[in-house]
Structure 1
Amino acid sequence: MSIARRSTRPPAATRSARRPRLLIAGEFSAGKTRLINGLLGGAVLPSNVTATHLPPVWLVGGGSARMAVDLSGEARAIEALDGIDVAETHHCVLSHHADCLARFDLIDTPGSSDPNMTAESWERMLPLADAVVWCTNATQAWRQSEKAVWQDMPEALRANATLLVTHADRLPDRRAADRVLRRVQREAGPFFMHILLASLIEPEDLARIGDHLGRLAEGLDALPGRADRLTAELAAQPVARPHGSEAAPVAPPRRVAPAETARPTRPVRPGRSNVVRLPLAPSGDRPADLRALWSAMIEDIDRTDATAVLACAERLIDSLETGERLPGATARPEPAATEPRPVTAAREEE
């Protein structure tokens, strides 16, 4: 397979002392917000339909800020993310105490295919980023529209990019996951340094993604993102931790098969990608069961009413995360014990 070689990265001497900034990008409904909430350990960013009307959100580990930065660069304090004027706001800045933010900043962006948002609303954050994590939905991974956007990405950001194939829990079985990985490696491998497949509702997968991002941030030879005074000042302040208990997790832990410790990632030759496959946990919800449940939920609603359909979809998702029994749902059998599945880190050989 012909694979384009990457340009030589800048020498380590150009690395600055600030924290690396990882920009989370991808198309609408690719799991970007769910990923960030999972890494932070709580529902920090809204994930319902109103979240599509948010500007980019920059999360930093320091201070206690909740601010909106307008198009002229002026920052003002805000009570919440609700009601932000997207047309007049460049981005928002939120402080958070999550451990991962001591290693890197996270920048959440609107979906590149969101019809309610202009491409400029997320592209304006590219000059501030040091590396990009592109999220793509496993059920329709790496579409032509994504490739078209990625080919216009600045070269400095493409050099250390990760492709995260999300929603692996929606694939029916391991064979389907392997097929997705092989196709994505074949079609997207030349553009990414790392490719990962994961479920964003599995605590083990989120932990491994966090470890990968930490290693990615520490391994950056240079930080090309331009200077930003506000976040630099926040990063220099002590982390403001909440009083009392920590924020509730996004999803309760589910029974998962134990996995072997991942082998150290091998060095990547220019033009090659590391493909890291995270373990798919056994699921008590079979696709056929979910289809039947979905059909029962929407039986009595007007299917041309987008609001009603979205409400049903959100209720179904909430039930899967919390374990709530919905009308028409069959009891879930206890999953049988399974053998540990190894986590693999492999490259396609020449």
Structure 2
Amino acid sequence: MSDKAVLVTGAAGFIGFHIAQRLLSAGRVVVGLDAVNDYYDPKLKEARLDILKRDPNFSFVKLDLANRAATSLLFAQYRFPAVIHLAAQAGVRYSLQHPHAYIDANIGGFMNVLEGCRHNDCKHLLFASSSSVYGANTKLPFSVQDNVDHPVSLYAASKRANELMAHAYSHLYRIPATGLRFFTVYGPWGRPDMAMFIFAKAITEGKPIKLFNGGNMRRDFTFVDDVSEAIMRLIDRPPQGNPGWSGAKPDPATSAAPWKIYNIGNSHPEDLMHVVSLLEKQFGRVAAKEMLPMQPGDVPATYADIDDLAREIGFAPATTIENGIAKFAKWYRDYHNL
């Protein structure tokens, strides 16, 4: 698989940037695709791309995957053996005000990726899902064996739809597809709309941080290098289909088709107040705190069961929250010249 280019969609994004770096350092040829939209500051996306473009094995394509004709041409040109699909309209809260963005990008865009894979002999499609698919579930830790049919945001519903669309294509066209349910990824070059970045910005600017549910939240914060490691171990292991799968007692995480779902998490949820205290320590100042009620579409806790990753690829998260936040804070200070 390594002789031809791997496609990374969302390459200017947080996780896409890190994955592209890992692939390039492993000697892979990478085509990075991104629309570079203004959901958050495009300057951050451009800065990530500037780093990737220094590698001669990286080429960038600016493209909105909702553009069916252009996406079809790109897939026909490269016939990618592996596709890592991370491009999406992200964010739970944004989906409350801008629902159509999620249908266009996460449903329409993904449809065009599936068609590109179908018509151009893709050997493995890995695609981003989200811990948000667990929705109204309260049994912890969240397991890929659980039913996930009660999303509490349109973002979550769009990610669940991706899992089901991929299964249909795996069943019909035998496209090996691996869905990755990410749990609160953080680290250097992180997204400005996520808690870690929002808190760091508020603390360093002396502004109050908003803590929903009165700060009584737990998140399975997952360091981005651990996410990259899991994906690097999975890329050359396309699912073969589960020969023991039964329609009479269906396993939600596998199929007779070559399709599989994994949780990618730290498997160790952290109290949000502990995370805030670690950031305060890193930046040397105490945050003003504004306690607020739970937001629509939010959940009080996330916690990943990653036993199958440990069993199948020997994966174990290697980064403690203390080390991860220290690395994030160092990057944040450097990037903002603090």
- TM-score bracket, normalised by the shorter chain, equals 0.3 to 0.5
- Which protein shows a greater Rg? 1
**TM-score of the aligned structures, taking structure 2 as reference length:** 0.40
Greater relative contact order structure (CA < 8 Å, 6+ sep) = 1
Task: Identify the structure with the greater helix proportion.
Answer: 2
